[in-house]
């Protein structure tokens, strides 16, 4: 084996471990986003958020992190990604209340995702952009699942990053394809919601769903829109059926079900099909 080739292999291995570590660190920060942004949305006035949807991001830098259960400041030793949760056995150090398993899952998923993206695209700007893509999707998945929110500051950031990545040539689609994908995705979701409104006289989807699908269209292109909608709808139907069986009650159209997580899962599936 030649020396340059050996050096390249060593560089890739180092990059892989860096990607794993960065995934853990970013996953820890995503947990802050998932917890704080919906809380800030509920505390801010609607006018403030409407004027500047990014104003709520100030909550990410202050105040210092505290335990959700007893509001005690979290020491650095309890803030180490993955390790702290395991050492604490999933319980708060101070009041012994259980810590949501979501904290651990988000860090593990981010870690695996970042490493997988690096193995696929190598040390490139494409890797950087796709890591941002998945980080935002992970945050949106859990926020919508837990709170029924899809914050504009995240969906719009995802949208503009997709358009920027296409314009810079680091994504495998042209800028005009990204713009068209975003526009048609938004119109398609609006059309589905309008048809549902004519039928039920109520909205079936929120504005956040429109923007999320538009963002996915910007990243994955026009051809991804219908597969994403189809897969997300099938997943939603399956989950509704399982909930009906487990709870032994029929699902009612009057009940709320967050659609964002299904869009995220469908988008990830389409991404995998296009790149593997």
Give yes or no: residues 132 and 104 share one domain. Answer: no
- Phi-psi region for residue 141, left (φ > 0), alpha (ψ -120 to 50) or beta? alpha
For the chain, 276 residues long, give each residue's pLDDT as a single digit of tens: 455 666 557 667 888 889 999 999 999 999 989 988 988 887 765 555 555 666 666 677 666 777 777 777 777 776 777 788 787 777 877 787 888 889 899 999 999 999 999 999 988 999 999 999 999 999 999 999 999 999 999 999 999 999 999 999 999 999 999 999 999 999 999 988 888 778 777 777 888 999 999 999 999 999 999 999 999 999 998 988 887 777 755 555 556 788 999 999 999 999 999 887
Burial class (CB in 10 A: 0-12, 13-18, 19+), 102: middle
Give yes or no: residues 133 and 192 share one domain. Answer: yes
- pLDDT recorded at residue 1: 46
Q: How many domains does the chain have?
A: 2
Give yes or no: residues 187 and 82 share one domain. Answer: no
Q: Give whole-number Cα distances, 18 to 110, 224, 235, in Å.
A: 13, 31, 34
How far apart (Å, rounded) are the C-alpha atoms in residues 205 and 196? 9
- pLDDT recorded at residue 4: 64
- pLDDT recorded at residue 252: 56
Give yes or no: residues 98 and 129 share one domain. Answer: no
Give yes or no: residues 168 and 38 share one domain. Answer: no
Asked which of 94, 123, 152 is the last residue of a domain, the reply is 123
Q: CA triplet 108, 144, 209: central angle to 5 degrees? A: 120
Give yes or no: residues 70 and 46 share one domain. Answer: yes
Q: Give whole-number Cα distances, 234 to 212, 224, 231, 266, in Å.
A: 18, 15, 5, 10
Give yes or no: residues 128 and 159 share one domain. Answer: yes
Give yes or no: residues 137 and 108 share one domain. Answer: no
Range of the domain at 156: 124-276
CB atoms within 10 A of CB 251: 14
E strand residue ranges, 124-233:
none
Give yes or no: residues 94 and 2 share one domain. Answer: yes
Asked which of 123, 139, 162 is the last residue of a domain, the reply is 123
Q: What is the pTM of this model?
A: 0.88
Give yes or no: residues 38 and 168 share one domain. Answer: no
Asked which of 77, 100, 123 is the last residue of a domain, the reply is 123
How far apart (Å, rounded) are the C-alpha atoms in residues 39 and 55? 13
How far apart (Å, rounded) are the C-alpha atoms in residues 88 and 95? 12
Cβ-contact 204, 185 below 8 angstroms: no
- pLDDT recorded at residue 176: 94
- pLDDT recorded at residue 52: 64
Give yes or no: residues 241 and 147 share one domain. Answer: yes
Give yes or no: residues 119 and 197 share one domain. Answer: no
Q: Give whole-number Cα distances, 32 to 25, 154, 202, 272, in Å.
A: 11, 14, 33, 27
Tokens coding 180: 């068209």
How far apart (Å, rounded) are the C-alpha atoms in residues 171 and 129? 8
């Amino acid at each position: 084996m030649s020396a340059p080739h050996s050096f390249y292999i060593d560089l890739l291995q180092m990059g892989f471990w860096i990607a794993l570590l960065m995934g853990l660190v970013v996953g820890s920060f995503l947990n802050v986003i998932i917890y704080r942004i919906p809380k800030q949305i509920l505390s801010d006035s609607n006018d403030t958020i409407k004027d500047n949807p990014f104003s709520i991001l100030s909550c990410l830098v202050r105040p210092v992190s505290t335990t959700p259960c007893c509001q005690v400041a979290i020491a650095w030793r309890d803030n180490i990604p993955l390790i702290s949760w395991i050492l604490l056995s999933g319980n708060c150090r101070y009041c012994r209340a259980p810590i949501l398993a979501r904290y651990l899952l988000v860090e593990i998923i981010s870690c695996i995702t970042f490493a997988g993206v690096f193995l696929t695209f190598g040390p490139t700007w494409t890797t950087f952009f796709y890591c941002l893509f998945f980080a935002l999707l992970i945050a949106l998945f859990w926020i919508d699942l837990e709170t029924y929110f899809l914050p504009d500051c995240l969906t719009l950031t995802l949208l503009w990053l997709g358009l920027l990545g296409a314009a810079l040539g680091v994504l495998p689609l042209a800028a005009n394809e990204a713009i068209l994908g975003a526009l048609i995705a938004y119109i398609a979701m609006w059309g589905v919601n309008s048809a549902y409104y004519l039928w039920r006289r109520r909205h079936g989807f929120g504005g956040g769903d429109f923007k999320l699908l538009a963002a996915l269209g910007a990243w994955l292109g026009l051809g991804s829109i219908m597969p994403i909608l189809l897969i997300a709808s099938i997943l939603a139907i399956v989950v509704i059926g399982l909930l009906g069986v487990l709870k032994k009650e029929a699902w009612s159209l009057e009940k709320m079900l967050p659609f964002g997580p299904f869009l995220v899962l469908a988008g990830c599936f389409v991404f995998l099909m296009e790149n593997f």
